Amino acid sequence: MLDLSSRRAARLAVPVLLLVALAACSKKEEAQPAAATTPATGGAATPAPAATTPAEAPAATPDTAVSAQVQAMSVDQLREAASLALRENRMYAPTGNNAVEYYLALRDKQPQDATVKSALTDLTPYTLIAAEQSINREDFPEAQRLIALIEKVDDKAPALPRLKAGVTNGVQNAATRTAQETEKLKKQTEEKAQQLVEQKKLADQQAKEAEAARQIAAQQETARAEAERQAAAKREADQRAAAAAAAAAPKPAASAPTAAAAAAATLRPISTPAPRYPPEALRAGTSGEVLVEITVGTDGSVTSSRVLRANPARVFDREALNATKRWKFEPVAAPVTTRRTLSFSPGT
């Protein structure tokens, strides 16, 4: 047991030590300090009880504010451990290894010890500040532990209702904020999923449109090829028909000239203008010839004309007949029927 002078010295040193150590303790609360040692019976050193992580400990109450390991220590061990805790600024933390718990255990063992009561009175304001700081940083398990220590020291402490309300409100606010953040995250996830669905729909639509465009282009190409094939077939058929017509046309007899041929030989042309070249045939570079039969009246004018053979068919017929109608010959004694071949060539 400490003598009277030692008690007075410890009593006077506590406020000074508390003032100096307050800032340091607020920073050390979350760190695990080196384990203190307390002298055991017989002089052997025994390690102080290990602190319990607040997040893993159950909700603290005044009955559990002082750890079982501390409660099991002897009076001499508690006094030595309390003094060491003050020197090392472990006023209220860590759990199971702080001055408040050691003094509370001493008070349980020696209720009338004025030095112990005075030390607890001096430590209480700083434990209150630490509890408020824990509430502000939302370390609610630590705040509850400190509040339990304060309530163990003085269950009528004026600050207790406010601190307990602060913990309750803080837990509710934190839970509300967590729920809001969870809901926000859920909405963001749903919106992202909806965006992905819309993007997939758009990609599918674009793929369908591209496939439809490809099919239309293929159909157009097929139709164009078919039109060209039909046009080529028509030209070939026209050429075959013209060749067949030319082959079927009557050919002049190889015998001596007839009377008609002799009469035609007596025709003397005055004006035989060339036929007009059809513009379509000229642009296409088409050439050909037309065999016409004309009848010349006694005054030398062409009284009638008709096409006997044309190659190609129906291309130069009209212009050939129009040209022959303008022809003039010298008068003859009797009408003469004869044949003439009109040639069409783009280079002439």
For residue 85, tell me if it sits in a domain.
yes
Phi and psi at 339, nearest 5°, equal -125, 145
Assessment of whether the complete model's pTM goes beyond 0.85: no
Q: Look at residues 288, 316, 310, 321 and name the one whose alpha carbon lies nearest to residue 242.
A: 310
In terms of domains, do 127 and 263 share one?
A: no
Please check whether residue 116 lies inside any domain of the structure: yes
Instruction: Decide if pLDDT at 55 tops 60.
Output: no
| In a domain? residue 263 | yes
Asked if 270 and 146 sit in the same domain, the reply is no
**Beta 45-47 vs 37-39: how paired, if at all?**
antiparallel
Residue 37 near residue 47, CB atoms below 8 Å: yes
CA distance 53 to 97: 12
Which residue, 157, 178, 209, sits at the end of a domain?
157
Residue pair 293/249 in contact by the 8 Å Cβ criterion: no
State how many domains the chain has.
2
Tell me what pLDDT residue 20 has: 37
What is the tens place of the pLDDT at every residue in 129-181? 999 999 999 999 999 999 999 999 999 999 999 999 999 999 999 999 999 99
Alpha carbons 177 and 195: distance in angstroms, whole number: 26
Whether 118 maps to a domain, the answer reads yes
- 342 forms bridges with which residues in the sheet? 290
Q: For the domain that residue 302 is a member of, what is the CATH number?
A: 3.30.2420.10
Q: Are residues 264 and 152 in the same domain?
A: no
Distances from the Cα of 125 to the Cαs of 52, 75, 92, 301, in angstroms? Answer: 23, 25, 11, 144
Quick one: tokens of 282?
């000229």
Domain boundary, last residue among 101, 134, 157: 157
Q: Where are the alpha helices (DSSP H) in the chain?
A: 4-28, 68-71, 75-87, 99-109, 114-136, 140-153, 159-248, 259-265, 279-284, 317-325
- Out of 157, 191, 207, a domain closes at 157
pLDDT tens profile 235-272: 888 888 877 776 776 554 444 456 656 666 789 999 99
**Burial degree of 258 (CB within 10 A; 0-12, 13-18, 19+):** exposed
Structure confidence at residue 60 as a pLDDT band (50, 70, 90): confident
All residues at 6 or more sequence positions from 117 whose CB lies less than 8 Å from its CB, including other chains: 107
Q: Which domain holds residue 19?
A: 4-157
